[in-house]
Amino acid sequence: MNKLQQCFSHLNVALWSILFLCFFLACDKGSDNDEDTPKNISIEKGGLLILNEGTFNFGNASVSYVNPAGTICPETFKTVNERSLGDVGQSMAFYEDKALIVVNNSGKIEVVNRYTFESIQTIEGLHSPRYITIDNERAFVSNIFKNRIDVLDLTTLNPIDSLTLGCTSDNVYDCGLDKMLLHNGQLFVLNWDQKSLLIWDINSLELLTQIPLNHHPTDLLLKDEQVWLMTSNLEETDGTLYQIEANSLEVVHTWELDDLGTYTNFIFFVGEHLYLLHGNLEKLDINEANLDRNIVYTNKEYSIYGYGIAPNENDLYLAIVTDFTQNGVIFKMDLNNYNIVDTLEAGIAPSKFYFVE
């Protein structure tokens, strides 16, 4: 029996202990004599928030909180506010004392106090909000089924503008904008229907350029003035890694890759090392001539749906989805030896990690 199987075999026993501790140590339910007393949770520095998408159309998205001692409190939003988070918890961002939780299929953003998770406001009427990024007092929100970026004023929590692009497809579900990053006053956005990288000026709100890509873009990041971008052929298991100079917007290099997954092809840096995660975890050795792929963790059994890197850069958290109706599991990996050292219980379809600093 390997280490992962051993972790799973002990999960059921550990789960009951974890849940028991959660409600008595992490979640203060208030007085038994006062049913109106709100349930109290304190989001502490060193803790971890896990965003669980939930089952599509079931309205069971959730946020799990792991405190610094390792105690898990599931359904954090629901525990505090006594109502469901909504349908498909997609992403989260933080501004001052607020956390903004994007709930995709509910077409809304739930704004809560980032330290207590008490509801502040619900921003409704959005189309299909996907990802959120923040610049000073503005938030930019992409829509997965519409080529539009909604611009929000974070002081009033109201929409104030939008960035739009025409769709080249007759099917609205083929249109859409996905992951984003900000750099030097420019917003880099992944575009689905035109298979491109869009760059907007966030001051003039003008589209600066559009870089064509060979497949659907699935991930991007910024490192040392370089934009790294991954595309995936959704019909096959190949894709392309792009290196783009962030200031000149020139494509520096591309590398063709095979034996990948489909949509869930992630790239991330740990220190100066670039990793590719698509089920297996690969450490990439990059040079202009070629790209050497070294598999450091082999996975043929589990569906990896997301990841998070701890601030110490020693630990990698992997979101494991068995299906989209049952609770998922989080594997904690030691990046010094690539061994799984712990497992955590999550909600349905965990996908995003936010470390409390």
Residue among 127, 96, 83, 82 nearest 109 (CA): 127
Express each pLDDT in 267-320 by its tens digit. Answer: 999 999 999 999 899 999 987 778 999 999 998 888 899 999 999 999 999 999
- Sole residue written with tokens 């917003």: 187
Q: What is the pLDDT of residue 302?
A: 87
Q: What is the pLDDT of residue 261?
A: 73
318 strand-pairing partners: 307, 331
Residue among 194, 132, 206 nearest 164 (CA): 206
In this prediction the pTM is: 0.89
Provide the terminal-to-terminal Cα distance of the chain, rounded to the nearest Å.
37
318 contact partners, CB below 8 Å, separation of at least 6: 277, 304, 306, 307, 330, 331, 332, 333
Express each pLDDT in 52-109 by its tens digit. Answer: 999 999 999 999 999 999 999 999 999 999 999 999 999 999 999 999 999 999 999 9
How far does CA 94 lie from the centroid of its chain?
13
Q: Please report, for the chain, the start and end positions of each structural domain, with discontinuous segments joined by +.
A: 1-31+38-49+61-85+302-357
